[in-house]
Structure 1
Amino acid sequence: MIQALVFDFDGLIIDTETPWYYAFQQVYQRYGFELPLSVYAQCIGTTFHDFNPYANLAEQAGVDVEVITRECKTAHAALMERIELRAGVQDYLKEAKRLNLKVGIASSSEYAWIEPLLKKNDIFHYFDTIQTADVVAKVKPDPELYVKALAALEVEGSQAISFEDSLNGFTAAKAAGLNCVVVPNEVTRHLPFAEHDLMLTSMSDMPLAEVIVKLSGSTA
Protein backbone atom coordinates (compact mmCIF):
# COMPACT_ATOMS: atom_id res chain seq x y z
CA MET A 1 0.00 0.00 0.00
CA ILE A 2 1.30 3.45 -0.89
CA GLN A 3 2.12 5.46 2.22
CA ALA A 4 4.39 8.22 0.97
CA LEU A 5 5.28 10.50 -1.94
CA VAL A 6 8.78 11.80 -2.62
CA PHE A 7 9.18 14.70 -5.03
CA ASP A 8 12.19 16.01 -6.85
CA PHE A 9 12.35 19.81 -6.79
CA ASP A 10 14.12 21.53 -9.69
CA GLY A 11 12.27 20.96 -12.93
CA LEU A 12 9.49 19.01 -11.20
CA ILE A 13 7.82 21.22 -8.59
CA ILE A 14 9.11 24.41 -10.19
CA ASP A 15 10.62 24.22 -13.65
CA THR A 16 13.93 25.89 -12.94
CA GLU A 17 15.65 23.58 -15.44
CA THR A 18 14.19 25.08 -18.61
CA PRO A 19 15.14 28.66 -17.60
CA TRP A 20 18.66 27.43 -16.78
CA TYR A 21 19.03 25.93 -20.24
CA TYR A 22 17.72 29.07 -21.91
CA ALA A 23 20.01 31.22 -19.75
CA PHE A 24 23.05 29.16 -20.74
CA GLN A 25 21.96 29.29 -24.37
CA GLN A 26 21.73 33.09 -24.25
CA VAL A 27 25.22 33.46 -22.84
CA TYR A 28 26.77 30.81 -25.11
CA GLN A 29 25.30 32.52 -28.18
CA ARG A 30 26.54 35.89 -26.94
CA TYR A 31 30.06 34.50 -27.22
CA GLY A 32 29.36 32.80 -30.57
CA PHE A 33 28.89 29.23 -29.34
CA GLU A 34 26.02 26.75 -29.13
CA LEU A 35 24.99 24.45 -26.26
CA PRO A 36 23.12 21.42 -27.61
CA LEU A 37 20.46 20.04 -25.27
CA SER A 38 21.99 16.57 -25.63
CA VAL A 39 25.19 17.95 -24.09
CA TYR A 40 23.52 20.03 -21.39
CA ALA A 41 21.35 17.06 -20.35
CA GLN A 42 24.41 15.47 -18.73
CA CYS A 43 24.15 17.87 -15.79
CA ILE A 44 20.36 18.00 -15.36
CA GLY A 45 19.37 16.73 -11.93
CA THR A 46 22.93 16.09 -10.79
CA THR A 47 26.30 17.83 -10.29
CA PHE A 48 28.62 19.34 -12.90
CA HIS A 49 31.00 16.36 -12.56
CA ASP A 50 30.40 15.03 -16.10
CA PHE A 51 29.72 18.38 -17.76
CA ASN A 52 30.20 21.89 -16.36
CA PRO A 53 28.48 24.43 -18.64
CA TYR A 54 30.25 27.38 -16.99
CA ALA A 55 33.75 25.94 -17.34
CA ASN A 56 33.02 24.64 -20.83
CA LEU A 57 32.12 28.08 -22.17
CA ALA A 58 34.89 29.82 -20.24
CA GLU A 59 37.43 27.50 -21.86
CA GLN A 60 36.02 27.93 -25.37
CA ALA A 61 35.67 31.70 -25.13
CA GLY A 62 38.88 32.32 -23.23
CA VAL A 63 36.97 34.18 -20.52
CA ASP A 64 37.26 33.87 -16.74
CA VAL A 65 34.77 31.33 -15.41
CA GLU A 66 33.58 33.81 -12.77
CA VAL A 67 32.47 36.19 -15.54
CA ILE A 68 30.54 33.40 -17.30
CA THR A 69 28.96 32.29 -14.03
CA ARG A 70 27.80 35.81 -13.21
CA GLU A 71 26.31 36.34 -16.70
CA CYS A 72 24.47 33.00 -16.64
CA LYS A 73 23.04 33.57 -13.17
CA THR A 74 21.86 37.04 -14.15
CA ALA A 75 20.11 35.65 -17.23
CA HIS A 76 18.55 32.85 -15.17
CA ALA A 77 17.27 35.25 -12.49
CA ALA A 78 15.52 37.33 -15.13
CA LEU A 79 13.81 34.26 -16.59
CA MET A 80 12.83 32.97 -13.13
CA GLU A 81 10.77 36.08 -12.39
CA ARG A 82 7.94 34.60 -14.45
CA ILE A 83 8.15 31.02 -13.13
CA GLU A 84 5.33 29.48 -11.08
CA LEU A 85 4.56 26.03 -9.69
CA ARG A 86 4.12 23.44 -12.41
CA ALA A 87 0.54 22.49 -13.22
CA GLY A 88 -1.08 20.13 -10.73
CA VAL A 89 1.65 20.28 -8.10
CA GLN A 90 -0.39 22.04 -5.43
CA ASP A 91 -3.40 19.79 -6.09
CA TYR A 92 -1.21 16.70 -5.53
CA LEU A 93 0.18 18.11 -2.29
CA LYS A 94 -3.28 18.96 -0.95
CA GLU A 95 -4.62 15.55 -1.93
CA ALA A 96 -1.64 13.78 -0.36
CA LYS A 97 -2.41 15.42 2.98
CA ARG A 98 -6.10 14.60 2.65
CA LEU A 99 -5.13 10.96 2.13
CA ASN A 100 -2.77 11.08 5.15
CA LEU A 101 0.27 10.31 3.00
CA LYS A 102 3.73 11.30 4.12
CA VAL A 103 5.43 13.73 1.75
CA GLY A 104 9.10 14.43 1.14
CA ILE A 105 11.59 16.03 -1.20
CA ALA A 106 14.76 14.39 -2.52
CA SER A 107 16.80 16.98 -4.41
CA SER A 108 20.35 17.28 -5.71
CA SER A 109 20.16 21.02 -5.02
CA GLU A 110 21.13 22.68 -1.74
CA TYR A 111 18.60 23.45 0.99
CA ALA A 112 19.35 27.17 0.83
CA TRP A 113 18.12 27.22 -2.79
CA ILE A 114 14.98 25.15 -2.18
CA GLU A 115 13.60 26.57 1.07
CA PRO A 116 12.97 30.16 -0.13
CA LEU A 117 11.18 28.96 -3.26
CA LEU A 118 8.97 26.58 -1.27
CA LYS A 119 8.05 29.36 1.13
CA LYS A 120 7.55 31.92 -1.66
CA ASN A 121 5.02 29.57 -3.26
CA ASP A 122 3.42 28.70 0.11
CA ILE A 123 4.04 24.94 -0.07
CA PHE A 124 6.84 24.49 2.48
CA HIS A 125 4.38 23.21 5.12
CA TYR A 126 3.37 20.20 3.02
CA PHE A 127 6.72 18.42 3.40
CA ASP A 128 7.60 16.07 6.23
CA THR A 129 11.24 15.80 5.17
CA ILE A 130 13.51 17.64 2.74
CA GLN A 131 16.66 15.76 1.75
CA THR A 132 19.18 17.82 -0.20
CA ALA A 133 22.77 17.82 -1.44
CA ASP A 134 23.87 19.17 1.95
CA VAL A 135 23.21 15.85 3.72
CA VAL A 136 24.59 13.22 1.34
CA ALA A 137 27.98 12.16 0.02
CA LYS A 138 26.62 11.64 -3.50
CA VAL A 139 23.65 13.19 -5.27
CA LYS A 140 21.56 11.67 -8.06
CA PRO A 141 21.91 9.37 -9.98
CA ASP A 142 23.18 7.81 -6.75
CA PRO A 143 20.16 6.63 -4.70
CA GLU A 144 21.39 8.07 -1.35
CA LEU A 145 18.95 11.00 -1.35
CA TYR A 146 16.03 8.65 -1.79
CA VAL A 147 17.37 6.19 0.77
CA LYS A 148 17.54 9.02 3.32
CA ALA A 149 14.06 10.24 2.40
CA LEU A 150 12.59 6.77 2.87
CA ALA A 151 14.30 6.43 6.24
CA ALA A 152 13.02 9.83 7.39
CA LEU A 153 9.48 8.98 6.28
CA GLU A 154 9.77 5.48 7.81
CA VAL A 155 8.55 3.64 4.71
CA GLU A 156 9.93 1.06 2.30
CA GLY A 157 10.61 1.87 -1.35
CA SER A 158 7.65 -0.24 -2.47
CA GLN A 159 5.38 1.89 -0.25
CA ALA A 160 6.42 5.16 -1.89
CA ILE A 161 5.96 6.93 -5.21
CA SER A 162 8.66 9.23 -6.55
CA PHE A 163 7.96 12.05 -8.98
CA GLU A 164 10.88 12.95 -11.23
CA ASP A 165 11.57 15.03 -14.32
CA SER A 166 15.21 14.11 -15.04
CA LEU A 167 16.96 10.93 -16.09
CA ASN A 168 19.44 11.21 -13.22
CA GLY A 169 16.58 11.53 -10.73
CA PHE A 170 14.64 8.68 -12.30
CA THR A 171 17.72 6.44 -12.10
CA ALA A 172 18.19 7.30 -8.41
CA ALA A 173 14.56 6.65 -7.52
CA LYS A 174 14.46 3.28 -9.25
CA ALA A 175 17.76 2.25 -7.65
CA ALA A 176 16.23 3.00 -4.22
CA GLY A 177 13.25 0.79 -5.03
CA LEU A 178 10.52 3.42 -5.37
CA ASN A 179 7.68 3.41 -7.85
CA CYS A 180 8.51 6.22 -10.27
CA VAL A 181 6.22 8.63 -12.08
CA VAL A 182 8.08 10.67 -14.69
CA VAL A 183 6.78 14.18 -15.31
CA PRO A 184 9.29 15.62 -17.79
CA ASN A 185 9.59 19.30 -18.58
CA GLU A 186 10.51 21.06 -21.80
CA VAL A 187 14.21 20.20 -21.61
CA THR A 188 13.84 16.62 -20.30
CA ARG A 189 10.92 15.24 -22.29
CA HIS A 190 13.20 13.77 -24.97
CA LEU A 191 15.38 11.81 -22.52
CA PRO A 192 15.19 7.97 -22.60
CA PHE A 193 13.18 7.08 -19.48
CA ALA A 194 13.26 3.29 -19.70
CA GLU A 195 11.01 1.18 -17.47
CA HIS A 196 9.14 4.04 -15.83
CA ASP A 197 5.99 3.07 -13.98
CA LEU A 198 3.97 5.98 -15.37
CA MET A 199 4.65 9.08 -17.45
CA LEU A 200 2.56 12.28 -17.36
CA THR A 201 2.99 15.53 -19.25
CA SER A 202 1.98 17.30 -16.03
CA MET A 203 0.37 16.41 -12.72
CA SER A 204 -2.84 17.98 -13.98
CA ASP A 205 -3.18 15.04 -16.40
CA MET A 206 -4.37 12.59 -13.77
CA PRO A 207 -5.67 12.90 -10.17
CA LEU A 208 -3.29 11.62 -7.50
CA ALA A 209 -5.77 8.99 -6.34
CA GLU A 210 -5.84 7.53 -9.85
CA VAL A 211 -2.04 7.49 -10.00
CA ILE A 212 -1.98 5.52 -6.75
CA VAL A 213 -4.50 3.01 -8.08
CA LYS A 214 -2.51 2.53 -11.28
CA LEU A 215 0.74 1.94 -9.43
CA SER A 216 -0.53 -0.13 -6.52
CA GLY A 217 -3.86 -1.54 -7.58
CA SER A 218 -5.50 -0.07 -4.47
CA THR A 219 -6.32 3.30 -2.92
CA ALA A 220 -4.10 4.89 -0.32
Structure 2
Amino acid sequence: MFLNNFMDAVLFDMDGVIVDTMDLHFEAGAKMLSKKGLKITKEELRKHDSRRFNDVYKDFFDSKNDAEIEAMLDEKYRWLKSRTKGIVPIPGFFEFFFKVKGKYPLAIVSSSRKHFVEHILKEIGEQDSFDIIVGGDQVSKGKPDPEGYLKAASLLGVQPEKCLVIEDSINGIISAKKSGAKCVAVTTTYEKNFLLDADLIVNSLTNLTIEKADGLFDA
Protein backbone atom coordinates (compact mmCIF):
# COMPACT_ATOMS: atom_id res chain seq x y z
CA MET A 1 0.00 0.00 0.00
CA PHE A 2 1.35 3.41 -0.99
CA LEU A 3 1.20 6.37 1.38
CA ASN A 4 -1.17 9.20 0.51
CA ASN A 5 1.37 11.97 0.95
CA PHE A 6 2.34 14.90 -1.19
CA MET A 7 4.63 12.92 -3.47
CA ASP A 8 3.25 9.95 -5.36
CA ALA A 9 6.47 8.34 -6.65
CA VAL A 10 10.25 8.51 -6.37
CA LEU A 11 12.42 8.44 -9.49
CA PHE A 12 16.15 7.84 -9.15
CA ASP A 13 18.98 8.55 -11.52
CA MET A 14 21.54 5.74 -11.20
CA ASP A 15 25.10 6.79 -12.06
CA GLY A 16 26.24 9.16 -9.34
CA VAL A 17 23.11 8.64 -7.23
CA ILE A 18 22.91 4.92 -6.54
CA VAL A 19 26.48 3.95 -7.44
CA ASP A 20 29.65 5.96 -7.98
CA THR A 21 30.13 5.19 -11.67
CA MET A 22 30.29 8.59 -13.36
CA ASP A 23 34.09 8.64 -13.62
CA LEU A 24 34.02 5.09 -14.99
CA HIS A 25 31.65 6.26 -17.73
CA PHE A 26 33.96 9.14 -18.58
CA GLU A 27 36.98 6.83 -18.61
CA ALA A 28 35.20 4.30 -20.81
CA GLY A 29 34.07 7.03 -23.20
CA ALA A 30 37.60 8.37 -23.50
CA LYS A 31 38.88 4.87 -24.29
CA MET A 32 36.29 4.34 -27.01
CA LEU A 33 36.89 7.73 -28.62
CA SER A 34 40.65 7.18 -28.49
CA LYS A 35 40.23 4.08 -30.63
CA LYS A 36 38.69 6.33 -33.27
CA GLY A 37 41.68 8.66 -33.18
CA LEU A 38 40.21 11.31 -30.90
CA LYS A 39 42.38 11.98 -27.87
CA ILE A 40 40.15 13.36 -25.17
CA THR A 41 40.43 13.11 -21.42
CA LYS A 42 37.71 11.96 -19.07
CA GLU A 43 37.86 15.45 -17.55
CA GLU A 44 36.90 16.91 -20.94
CA LEU A 45 34.11 14.36 -21.29
CA ARG A 46 32.79 15.45 -17.90
CA LYS A 47 31.70 18.68 -19.61
CA HIS A 48 29.13 16.59 -21.47
CA ASP A 49 27.66 15.67 -18.10
CA SER A 50 25.16 12.80 -18.05
CA ARG A 51 24.27 12.74 -21.75
CA ARG A 52 24.07 9.40 -23.53
CA PHE A 53 27.36 8.26 -25.07
CA ASN A 54 25.82 7.86 -28.52
CA ASP A 55 24.74 11.53 -28.40
CA VAL A 56 28.24 12.59 -27.32
CA TYR A 57 29.79 10.49 -30.08
CA LYS A 58 27.71 12.28 -32.70
CA ASP A 59 28.98 15.61 -31.36
CA PHE A 60 32.55 14.62 -32.19
CA PHE A 61 32.07 12.77 -35.47
CA ASP A 62 30.00 13.30 -38.60
CA SER A 63 29.46 9.55 -38.90
CA LYS A 64 25.85 8.43 -39.02
CA ASN A 65 26.91 4.79 -38.93
CA ASP A 66 24.60 3.43 -36.26
CA ALA A 67 26.22 -0.01 -36.45
CA GLU A 68 29.60 1.53 -35.61
CA ILE A 69 28.13 3.41 -32.67
CA GLU A 70 26.42 0.25 -31.41
CA ALA A 71 29.68 -1.69 -31.60
CA MET A 72 31.41 0.99 -29.52
CA LEU A 73 28.59 0.96 -26.99
CA ASP A 74 28.74 -2.81 -26.70
CA GLU A 75 32.45 -2.61 -25.99
CA LYS A 76 31.96 0.23 -23.52
CA TYR A 77 29.38 -1.66 -21.49
CA ARG A 78 31.40 -4.87 -21.47
CA TRP A 79 34.24 -2.87 -19.95
CA LEU A 80 31.92 -1.16 -17.46
CA LYS A 81 30.40 -4.44 -16.33
CA SER A 82 33.85 -5.90 -15.72
CA ARG A 83 34.78 -2.87 -13.62
CA THR A 84 31.61 -2.84 -11.54
CA LYS A 85 31.45 -6.43 -10.32
CA GLY A 86 30.95 -6.32 -6.56
CA ILE A 87 30.15 -2.60 -6.58
CA VAL A 88 28.37 -1.20 -3.53
CA PRO A 89 25.97 1.75 -3.34
CA ILE A 90 27.11 5.27 -2.56
CA PRO A 91 27.02 5.84 1.23
CA GLY A 92 23.64 7.28 2.14
CA PHE A 93 21.68 5.75 -0.73
CA PHE A 94 20.32 2.81 1.23
CA GLU A 95 19.40 5.07 4.16
CA PHE A 96 16.91 6.99 2.01
CA PHE A 97 16.00 4.08 -0.26
CA PHE A 98 14.76 1.94 2.61
CA LYS A 99 12.59 4.84 3.79
CA VAL A 100 10.65 4.83 0.51
CA LYS A 101 10.90 1.19 -0.60
CA GLY A 102 7.48 -0.45 -0.37
CA LYS A 103 5.80 2.86 0.41
CA TYR A 104 5.99 4.58 -2.99
CA PRO A 105 6.22 3.45 -6.61
CA LEU A 106 9.91 3.55 -7.56
CA ALA A 107 11.66 3.99 -10.90
CA ILE A 108 15.15 4.44 -12.28
CA VAL A 109 15.67 6.88 -15.15
CA SER A 110 19.22 6.59 -16.42
CA SER A 111 21.33 7.61 -19.39
CA SER A 112 22.90 4.17 -19.10
CA ARG A 113 21.42 1.34 -21.11
CA LYS A 114 18.79 -0.75 -19.40
CA HIS A 115 20.90 -3.91 -19.30
CA PHE A 116 23.62 -2.03 -17.41
CA VAL A 117 21.08 -0.69 -14.91
CA GLU A 118 19.87 -4.25 -14.37
CA HIS A 119 23.48 -5.40 -13.91
CA ILE A 120 24.08 -2.76 -11.22
CA LEU A 121 20.85 -3.58 -9.40
CA LYS A 122 21.79 -7.25 -9.34
CA GLU A 123 25.23 -6.39 -7.95
CA ILE A 124 23.71 -4.42 -5.06
CA GLY A 125 20.97 -6.98 -4.43
CA GLU A 126 18.01 -4.81 -5.42
CA GLN A 127 17.12 -6.25 -8.83
CA ASP A 128 13.43 -6.63 -7.89
CA SER A 129 12.99 -3.38 -5.97
CA PHE A 130 12.06 -0.96 -8.75
CA ASP A 131 8.72 -0.93 -10.54
CA ILE A 132 10.06 0.70 -13.69
CA ILE A 133 13.46 1.11 -15.36
CA VAL A 134 13.87 3.61 -18.19
CA GLY A 135 17.31 3.31 -19.74
CA GLY A 136 18.98 5.62 -22.21
CA ASP A 137 18.26 3.11 -24.97
CA GLN A 138 14.53 3.34 -24.31
CA VAL A 139 14.05 7.00 -25.19
CA SER A 140 14.48 8.91 -28.42
CA LYS A 141 15.97 11.91 -26.61
CA GLY A 142 18.30 11.64 -23.63
CA LYS A 143 18.85 14.07 -20.77
CA PRO A 144 18.51 17.08 -20.58
CA ASP A 145 15.31 16.29 -22.48
CA PRO A 146 12.54 15.31 -20.03
CA GLU A 147 11.38 12.29 -22.07
CA GLY A 148 12.82 9.71 -19.67
CA TYR A 149 11.16 11.14 -16.57
CA LEU A 150 7.88 11.72 -18.38
CA LYS A 151 7.92 8.13 -19.61
CA ALA A 152 8.63 6.76 -16.13
CA ALA A 153 5.79 8.78 -14.60
CA SER A 154 3.41 7.60 -17.31
CA LEU A 155 4.38 3.95 -16.83
CA LEU A 156 3.90 4.31 -13.07
CA GLY A 157 0.50 5.90 -13.62
CA VAL A 158 1.33 9.11 -11.74
CA GLN A 159 1.51 12.77 -12.67
CA PRO A 160 5.09 13.98 -13.22
CA GLU A 161 4.32 16.96 -11.00
CA LYS A 162 3.82 14.51 -8.13
CA CYS A 163 7.17 12.80 -8.63
CA LEU A 164 10.32 13.31 -6.60
CA VAL A 165 13.49 12.94 -8.67
CA ILE A 166 16.91 12.24 -7.16
CA GLU A 167 19.71 13.51 -9.40
CA ASP A 168 23.40 14.40 -9.28
CA SER A 169 24.06 16.08 -12.63
CA ILE A 170 23.31 19.37 -14.34
CA ASN A 171 21.55 17.79 -17.32
CA GLY A 172 19.69 15.44 -15.01
CA ILE A 173 18.30 18.35 -13.01
CA ILE A 174 17.25 20.13 -16.21
CA SER A 175 15.52 16.95 -17.38
CA ALA A 176 13.68 16.51 -14.08
CA LYS A 177 12.55 20.13 -13.85
CA LYS A 178 11.37 20.20 -17.47
CA SER A 179 9.19 17.19 -16.69
CA GLY A 180 7.49 19.14 -13.92
CA ALA A 181 8.90 17.00 -11.10
CA LYS A 182 10.50 18.18 -7.88
CA CYS A 183 14.23 17.49 -7.82
CA VAL A 184 16.68 16.76 -5.03
CA ALA A 185 20.34 16.97 -6.07
CA VAL A 186 23.09 15.13 -4.23
CA THR A 187 26.64 16.49 -4.42
CA THR A 188 28.37 13.23 -5.35
CA THR A 189 29.50 14.35 -8.81
CA TYR A 190 29.29 18.15 -8.82
CA GLU A 191 29.74 20.84 -6.21
CA LYS A 192 26.69 22.62 -4.87
CA ASN A 193 27.14 25.76 -6.98
CA PHE A 194 26.56 23.70 -10.16
CA LEU A 195 23.27 22.27 -8.86
CA LEU A 196 21.36 25.40 -7.88
CA ASP A 197 18.40 24.69 -10.17
CA ALA A 198 17.39 21.75 -7.97
CA ASP A 199 14.63 22.25 -5.41
CA LEU A 200 16.86 20.90 -2.65
CA ILE A 201 20.58 20.07 -2.48
CA VAL A 202 22.00 17.54 -0.03
CA ASN A 203 25.53 16.33 0.57
CA SER A 204 24.25 12.81 1.19
CA LEU A 205 20.91 11.03 0.90
CA THR A 206 21.36 10.21 4.57
CA ASN A 207 20.19 13.78 5.15
CA LEU A 208 16.98 13.37 3.14
CA THR A 209 13.80 12.41 4.97
CA ILE A 210 10.31 11.76 3.65
CA GLU A 211 9.17 14.84 5.55
CA LYS A 212 11.72 17.03 3.74
CA ALA A 213 10.77 15.50 0.42
CA ASP A 214 7.05 15.99 1.00
CA GLY A 215 7.72 19.57 2.02
CA LEU A 216 8.90 20.35 -1.51
CA PHE A 217 5.36 19.71 -2.77
CA ASP A 218 3.69 21.83 -0.10
CA ALA A 219 4.17 25.08 -1.92
Q: Same fold (TM over 0.5)?
A: yes
Counterpart position of 1:59: none
Report if the CA contact (8 A) 1:6-1:162 is conserved. yes
Report if the CA contact (8 A) 1:106-1:130 is conserved. yes
CA distance in 1, matches of 2:51, 2:194: 16
Find the residue that maps to 1:44 and give its secondary structure: coil
CA distance in 1, matches of 2:140, 2:187: 26
Q: How many matched pairs?
A: 200
Question: What amino acid sits opposite 1:203 in the alignment?
Answer: L
Question: What amino acid sits opposite 2:94 in the alignment?
Answer: Q
Rate the CA distance shift 1:36–1:9 in 2: closer, same or farther, 3 A: closer
- The CA deviation at 1:51 is 4.3
Give ranges in structure 2 of 5+ residues lacking alignment.
Answer: 1-5, 34-38, 62-70
**So what's the TM-score if we normalise by structure 2?**
0.75
Aligned equivalent of 1:35, options 24, 41, 50: 41
CA distance in 1, matches of 2:81, 2:26: 12
1:143 maps onto 2:149 in alignment: no
Find the residue that maps to 2:196 and give its secondary structure: coil
1:215 maps onto 2:201 in alignment: no
Question: What amino acid sits opposite 1:216 in the alignment?
Answer: F
- The CA deviation at 1:87 is 1.4
Report if the CA contact (8 A) 1:108-1:132 is conserved. yes
Report if the CA contact (8 A) 2:10-2:107 is conserved. yes
CA distance in 1, matches of 2:29, 2:133: 28
Q: Name the Cα RMSD after superposition.
A: 3.3
- The CA deviation at 1:215 is 1.4
Report if the CA contact (8 A) 1:5-1:162 is conserved. yes
Question: What amino acid sits opposite 1:44 in the alignment?
Answer: D
Give ranges in structure 1 of 5+ residues lacking alignment.
Answer: 57-65
Question: What amino acid sits opposite 2:11 in the alignment?
Answer: V
Find the residue that maps to 2:128 and give its secondary structure: helix
Counterpart position of 1:18: 23
**So what's the TM-score if we normalise by structure 1?**
0.75
1:193 maps onto 2:195 in alignment: yes
1:97 maps onto 2:101 in alignment: yes
